[in-house]
Amino acid sequence: MIRVIQLMPVLVGLAAASPALFAQTKARVVVPAERIFPMATTLGAVTASPATISFAATDPDLGPFTGSSSATVSWTTSGGAAGSTWTLKVQAAAATFASCATVPTSAVTAMCTGVAGGTGGACTGGSGFALSTAGQQVASGKEATGIGKSYSVTINFTLADSWSYIAKSSCTLSLTYTVTAP
């Protein structure tokens, strides 16, 4: 009996001082809308095929020469959001072809011819644009939702031949494709 008399005031006292301990206590964080950020899209490796595209500049008077193949740039996304836009850019490593300083990077015209994957994918650059050392947008579109969603962009390249080029074989130019997805 003595024990009971001693416990009761303690329980009553706790209930009066901290009613929250006895209510439904679930943590609640209020974050302003402008501070909410969606989860980022995860990009898979960007690959370009084939690894090398060749041109045979045989006669400047015959007009531009088409590359040996189109380039297909491919990648995947996971966790994409339907409202988010991806972009693909291309950028040359130098202002002229390596070992061929007379052949400018701007002699190559890139033209996007097809976009697959996601929704609303579209080429940019119209009838093509001259390559440069600055990143230039090739295509864009909306992301696909889900895991491992595939995308590909097809690009044709043409080379404007010129009599001002010094004849030489194995002139090379490295292009970097960059995919950005929010």
Partner 1 sequence: MKRQYILALAAALISAPASYGQFAASGTTTLSVTVSAEAALSVTTSTTTLAALGTIFNPYTGTTNLTYKIRTSQSTGTGNVTLKVTSDFSPANGPSVTTPPSAGDALTYTCTAAAPATGCSSATTASTASATSVATFGAGASSANAGNAASTAWSLTNDPVYHTGSYTATVTYTISAT
Please state the separation of Cα 137 from the chain's center in Å. Answer: 11
Among 46, 81, 111, 130, binds partner 1 (CB under 8 A): 46
Among 3, 61, 63, 127, binds partner 1 (CB under 8 A): 61
42 binds partner 1 (CB under 8 A): yes
Report the run of H or E that residue 47 belongs to, with start and end: strand 47-49
Query: Nearest 10 degrees: CA dihedral of 55, 60, 63, 66?
Result: 0
Report the run of H or E that residue 86 belongs to, with start and end: strand 85-92
Q: How far is the CB of 11 from partner 1 (least distance, A)?
A: 22
**Between residues 16 and 61, which has the closer beta carbon with respect to partner 1?**
61
> x-or-dash pattern for partner 1, window 113-152, by CB under 8 A?
----------------------------------------
**Between residues 44 and 114, which has the closer beta carbon with respect to partner 1?**
44
Distance CA 78, CA 140 (A): 17
Distance CA 51, CA 112 (A): 17
**Between residues 13 and 38, which has the closer beta carbon with respect to partner 1?**
38
Q: How far is the CB of 1 from partner 1 (least distance, A)?
A: 36
Which letter does DSSP use for residue 99 in this model? T
Size of the site for partner 1 (CB under 8 A): 62
131 CB-near residues (< 8 Å, 6+ apart) = 90, 92, 105, 106, 108, 109, 110, 173, 175
**Between residues 13 and 59, which has the closer beta carbon with respect to partner 1?**
59
Site residues (CB under 8 A) for partner 1?
25, 27, 29, 31, 35, 37-48, 50-61, 67, 71, 73, 75, 97, 100, 102-103, 108, 157, 159, 161-182
